[in-house]
Amino acid sequence: MDLTHMKSAFVLVKDLLKHIANNMKIIIRNANNMRIQQKYEDVQQKYEDAQKKNVEFQQKNMDVQAKFEQQLAQAMNIINTLSEQVKTFINQ
């Protein structure tokens, strides 16, 4: 192989190495993008889970509030009944 052919072969190898390097950069970039996408999906799932728990908590809160109001109404009825009984007792 003469010098001209060797020079051409080196140029071809050099170009091939550049293409390989560029392809490796693309592969690495794609892998990073896939990791970022997975992290985004994980965060999105955690957000959706938190939203679901928030809705469940709000429902429980409403249930507790309703029970409290019911018990308060019962307590007020008992107080009113006792108050009427005391008035009746005093007026006898």
Per-residue model confidence as pLDDT tens digits over 52-83: 999 999 999 999 999 999 999 999 999 999 99
Rounded to 5°, the CA angle 52-68-66 comes to: 50
Q: What is the pLDDT of residue 3?
A: 80
Residue 1 has pLDDT above 90, yes or no: no
Indicate the pLDDT class of residue 4, thresholds 50, 70 and 90. Answer: confident
Phi-psi region of 9 (alpha: psi -120 to 50; beta: other; left: phi over 0): alpha
pLDDT at 2: 81
pTM (predicted TM-score): 0.59
Give Cα separations from 67 to 10, 28, 73, 80, 81 (angstroms).
84, 58, 10, 20, 21
Query: Angle at CA 44, nearest 5°, toward 32 and 40?
Result: 10
